Chain A
Amino acid sequence: AQKVTQAQTEISVVEKEDVTLDCVYETRDTTYYLFWYKQPPSGELVFLIRRNSFDEQNEISGRYSWNFQKSTSSFNFTITASQVVDSAVYFCALSEQTNTGNQFYFGTGTSLTVIP
């Protein structure tokens, strides 16, 4: 079973539109961490945000905001007033602490294209 599901494979929006990228996760742990990464066309992965399972407060950073809802096991990412530079693949990830260490799971990614 997929631990992290990003159901949206590709999204296209026109510049200045808002867009929400969905992320649904699955875990039995009470302590876990969620992440979002951005991968622009150049290929490097850029860390955007980390959220721990005990903090459901939504976070806003400029045009980016994240909505964490444990009740629906979702950690959605919204870009407000999208720009061409936001075009990238976005990955959601889950980190769990296990007895033997920890596991890091990536979703399959959502490719966002912002059309000028």
Chain B
Amino acid sequence: GAVVSQHPSRVICKSGTSVKIECRSLDFQATTMFWYRQFPKQSLMLMATSNEGSKATYEQGVEKDKFLINHASLTLSTLTVTSAHPEDSSFYICSARDFLSAAQPQHFGDGTRLSIL
């Protein structure tokens, strides 16, 4: 089945550090990838939709300058949390679809647990 790799799985760093998270589709091309944030015991919150070769589409309330998304190829999207602060601590998870059809399930990476001290 479709495989999505997300790296790193866990990050602990000091406040003010910028953190980059990578999301790769390993066995398919993903023109669109999605970035979610999940707080403890809560549902997934869509942050942005990442489109290969164009600017990401951010959901309302998500700071574009805070969460930089780059989708440079059909298999890689990156999320950079710039100047991270403790309130940015969360579980971040990416997903991708084989192609943009409502019929296709989203395939998820294993997530990145970000802890800002």
- A binding-site residues for B, Cβ under 8 Å: 31-33, 35, 37, 42-47, 50, 52, 91, 93, 95-97, 101-102, 104, 106-109, 111
Contacts and interface: CB of A to CB of B under 8 A. Distances in A.
B28 to A, nearest CB: 14
A44 B105 CA distance: 15
B59 to A, nearest CB: 12
Interface in B24-46: 34, 41-44, 46
A108 B44 CA distance: 8
Contact of A106 (B1, B41, B43, B105): B43
A50 B101 CA distance: 13
A111 B41 contact: yes
B7 interface: no
Most chain B CB neighbours (cut-off 10 Å) among A50, A52, A95: A95
Main DSSP-derived SS at the B contact region: loop
Interface residues of B, number: 23
Interface of B: 1, 34, 41-44, 46, 91, 93, 95, 100-111, 113
B100 A101 contact: yes
Contacts of B104: 95
A44 B110 contact: yes
Contacts of B93: 43, 45
Contacts of A108: 42-43
17 contacts: A33-B102, A35-B105, A37-B108, A44-B111, A45-B44, A47-B1, A47-B105, A47-B106, A91-B44, A95-B103, A97-B101, A102-B102, A106-B44, A107-B43, A108-B43, A109-B42, A109-B43
Given A107-B43, A108-B43, A111-B41, A47 B107 contact: yes
A7 to B, nearest CB: 13
